[in-house]
């Protein structure tokens, strides 16, 4: 490992990204810690997660597709 | 698995030929036999003889059969027969399946079209029935019906990976990695399904219940294999996956609740609960990055992307209608009864 690795493929892979899907969830990729309002870690079951944006998911903070059933339109 | 029981003259002949050494002269009889079966079929999608034959010929490319020499996979006689049957399957689907037109080859437009095609509808569905009404025997039937695909869940779509490039390929790998458990064998969706089967006292051996499922269930799986095995149809397998993912999260919540209603434990419902969360991720990636991304890379594939999605929905609907109609008549949706051990969790 050299100092160059900081900008190499490993560093790039860990860069977090959040994608706002039109009228849908926020897709979160990369090294992001999810915590609840007390700071307790929220179990993350997969590399890429979808966070609820419509407020109606039954598995919050994750998306369960309910935005489609309620016709959610993102602001 | 071993070769399934034959369901008519064609599958009987295929069964006999495949149990011999590859390269035998009898292999050249398979294509004429397939042509003869196609001439007499009333409805290809519900023709047991044709669909079980196609299942057998495709399974040579999946995991094969204990009683069939693996070299049959690339035998020209077997491939000629498969070619005739799958061309008939493709033309049947293209003639019957309504596909939206005038969708521009843009990421957002393709994703919007796919989400519109798969929008939740209030009508009767297997998921709603399972949620509210199904009894334990019907849950067993549901798992038996699903097992022919779900024990190899994701495999037909994986064939598309080397045929794609760039953003579309990265998207497909991202989805499939999750389907295959993100590096953990016990979290593979096929492994979770096996766990659910065991929870209801079923045998989770690959291919165990093929003889029990009707032609229409095999047609649904055969269509996936056809789309996945042919590079020409890479648009269709991509659209198929998008539609599959987009019609998964909400129904799987109902399946999970239906199984819980009958006392299933968390281990047994894990498969459904996992899909509620996973497919809400996958449907976004599949609709936008995979299907939408492919449409921008290869604009001439838009029609096939939508065809693949529409074919998925059409066949899902046929299978669902078959199951609900049987259950409403108080009958089994299976060809032959299946016995589950009584000590299952539900």
Rounded to a whole number, what is the distance in Å from the CA of A2 to chain B's nearest CA?
28
Q: What ipTM was predicted for this assembly?
A: 0.90
Share of chain B above pLDDT 90, in %: 95
Q: How far apart are CA B48 and CA B216, in angstroms?
A: 8
Please, what is the average pLDDT of chain A?
Answer: 87
Nearest to B280 among A22, A25, A47 (CB): A25
Q: How far apart are CA A34 and CA A41, in angstroms?
A: 6
* pLDDT grade for B56, boundaries at 50, 70 and 90: very high
Rounded to a whole number, what is the distance in Å from the CA of B13 to chain A's nearest CA?
46
Q: Which two tokens stand for residue A55?
A: 């407020």
Alpha-carbon torsion, ordered B20, B25, B30, B32, to 10 deg: -160
- Confirm if B256 and B130 have CB atoms less than 8 A apart: no
Rounded to a whole number, what is the distance in Å from the CA of B182 to chain A's nearest CA?
7
User: Can the peptide bond before residue B241 be classed as cis, meaning omega within 30 degrees of 0?
Assistant: no
Nearest one of B56, B54, B26, B50 to B38, comparing CA atoms:
B50
Give the number of C-alpha atoms closer than 13 A to the C-alpha of residue B320, restricted to the C-beta side: 15
With an 8 Å Cβ cutoff, the interface of chain A facing chain B consists of 21-22, 24-25, 27, 45-50, 58-59, 62-66, 68-69
The answer, yes or no, to whether residue B346 has pLDDT greater than 60, is no
Instruction: For chain A, say whether B274 makes contact (Cβ under 8 Å).
Output: yes
Inter-helix orientation angle B302-328/B215-229, to 10° = 160
Q: Which two tokens stand for residue B166?
A: 């760039």
The answer, yes or no, to whether residue B51 has pLDDT greater than 70, is yes
Instruction: For chain A, say whether B109 makes contact (Cβ under 8 Å).
Output: no
The answer, yes or no, to whether residue B52 has pLDDT greater than 60, is yes
Contact list in B for residue A22 (CB cut-off 8 A) is 108, 111
What does R_g of chain B's alpha carbons equal in angstroms? Answer: 20
Residue in this structure with the two tokens 């049957």, named with its chain if needed: B85
Interface of B with A in 212-251 (CB under 8 A): 248-250
* pLDDT grade for A9, boundaries at 50, 70 and 90: low
Cβ separation B281–A69 shorter than 8 A: no
SS3 label, residue A29: strand
Cβ separation B288–A63 shorter than 8 A: no
Q: How far apart are CA B236 and CA B187, in angstroms?
A: 27
- Read off the pLDDT of each residue in B7-29 and give the average, rounded to a whole number: 94
Q: Which residues lie closer than 8 Å to A2 by C-beta, 6 or more apart?
A: none
Contact list in B for residue A59 (CB cut-off 8 A) is 276-277
- Read off the pLDDT of each residue in B127-141 and give the average, rounded to a whole number: 97
Q: How buried is B304 (Cβ within 10 angstroms: 0-12 exposed, 13-18 middle, 19+ buried)?
A: buried
Which of A19, A22, A45, A46 would you mutate first to test chain B, the one with the most B CBs within 10 A?
A46
Contact list in A for residue B250 (CB cut-off 8 A) is 64-66, 68-69
User: Which domains are assigned to chain B?
Assistant: 9-96 (no CATH), 107-328 (1.20.910.10)
Q: How far apart are CA B329 and CA B58, in angstroms?
A: 33
Q: How far apart are CA B46 and CA B207, in angstroms?
A: 20
Cβ separation A46–B182 shorter than 8 A: yes
Q: How far apart are CA B41 and CA B64, in angstroms?
A: 27
Q: Can you give the pLDDT at residue A2?
A: 43
Q: Can you give the pLDDT at residue A15?
A: 87
Which of B119, B281, B289, B290 would you mutate first to test chain A, the one with the most A CBs within 10 A?
B281
Rounded to a whole number, what is the distance in Å from the CA of A74 to chain B's nearest CA?
14
Return the residue of A nearest to B178 by Cα: A46
Among A8-17, B28-37, B158-167, the minimum mean pLDDT is found in: A8-17
Instruction: For chain A, say whether B279 makes contact (Cβ under 8 Å).
Output: yes
The helix (run of H) or strand (run of E) holding residue A43 is none
In this structure, the number of other CB atoms found within 10 A of the CB of residue A44 comes to 13
Nearest to A24 among B277, B279, B284 (CB): B284
Q: Which two tokens stand for residue B60?
A: 């040579």
Q: Can you give the pLDDT at residue A75?
A: 86
- Confirm if B78 and B30 have CB atoms less than 8 A apart: yes
Nearest to B174 among A25, A48, A66 (CB): A48
Among A4-13, B135-144, B158-167, the minimum mean pLDDT is found in: A4-13
Q: Can you give the pLDDT at residue B122?
A: 84
Q: Which residues lie closer than 8 Å to A17 by C-beta, 6 or more apart?
A: A28, A29, A30
Return the residue of A nearest to B120 by Cα: A69
Q: Which residue has the higher pLDDT, B344 or A18?
A: A18
């Amino acid at each position: 490992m050299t100092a160059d690795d900081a900008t190499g493929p490993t560093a790039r892979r860990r860069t977090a990204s959040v994608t706002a899907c039109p009228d849908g969830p926020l897709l979160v990729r990369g090294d992001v810690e999810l915590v609840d309002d007390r700071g307790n870690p929220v179990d993350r079951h997969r590399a890429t997660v979808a966070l609820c944006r419509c407020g109606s998911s039954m598995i919050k903070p994750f998306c369960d597709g309910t935005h489609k059933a309620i016709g959610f339109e993102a602001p | 698995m071993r070769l399934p029981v034959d369901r008519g003259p064609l599958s009987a002949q295929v069964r006999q030929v495949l149990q011999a050494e590859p390269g035998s002269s009898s292999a050249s009889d398979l294509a004429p036999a397939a042509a003869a079966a196609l001439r007499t079929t009333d409805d290809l999608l519900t023709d047991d003889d044709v669909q079980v034959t196609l299942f057998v010929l495709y399974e040579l490319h999946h995991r094969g059969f204990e009683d069939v020499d693996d070299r049959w996979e690339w035998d020209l006689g077997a491939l000629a027969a498969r070619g005739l049957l799958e061309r008939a399957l493709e033309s049947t689907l293209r003639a019957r399946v309504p596909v939206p037109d005038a969708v521009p080859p843009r990421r957002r437009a393709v994703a919007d079209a796919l989400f519109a095609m798969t929008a939740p509808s209030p009508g009767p569905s297997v998921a709603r029935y399972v949620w509210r009404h199904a009894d334990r025997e019907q849950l067993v039937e549901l798992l038996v019906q699903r097992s022919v695909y779900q024990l190899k869940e994701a495999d037909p779509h994986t064939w598309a990976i080397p045929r794609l490039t760039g953003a579309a390929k990265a998207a497909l790998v991202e989805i499939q990695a999750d389907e295959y458990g993100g590096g953990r064998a016990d979290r593979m969706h096929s492994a979770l399904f096996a766990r659910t089967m065991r929870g209801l006292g079923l045998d989770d051996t690959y291919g165990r219940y093929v003889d029990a499922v009707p032609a229409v269930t095999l047609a649904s799986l055969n269509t996936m294999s056809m789309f996945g095995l042919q590079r020409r149809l890479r648009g269709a397998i991509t659209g198929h996956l998008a539609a599959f993912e987009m019609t998964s999260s909400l129904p799987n919540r109902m399946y999970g609740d239906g199984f819980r209603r009958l006392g299933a434990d968390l281990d047994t419902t894990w498969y459904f609960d996992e899909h509620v969360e996973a497919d809400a991720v996958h449907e976004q990636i599949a609709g936008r990055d995979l299907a939408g991304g492919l449409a921008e890379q290869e604009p001439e594939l838009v029609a096939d992307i939508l065809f693949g999605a529409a074919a998925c929905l059409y066949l899902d609907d046929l299978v669902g209608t078959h199951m609900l109609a049987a259950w409403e008549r108080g009958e089994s949706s299976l060809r032959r009864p299946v016995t589950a051990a009584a000590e299952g969790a539900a």
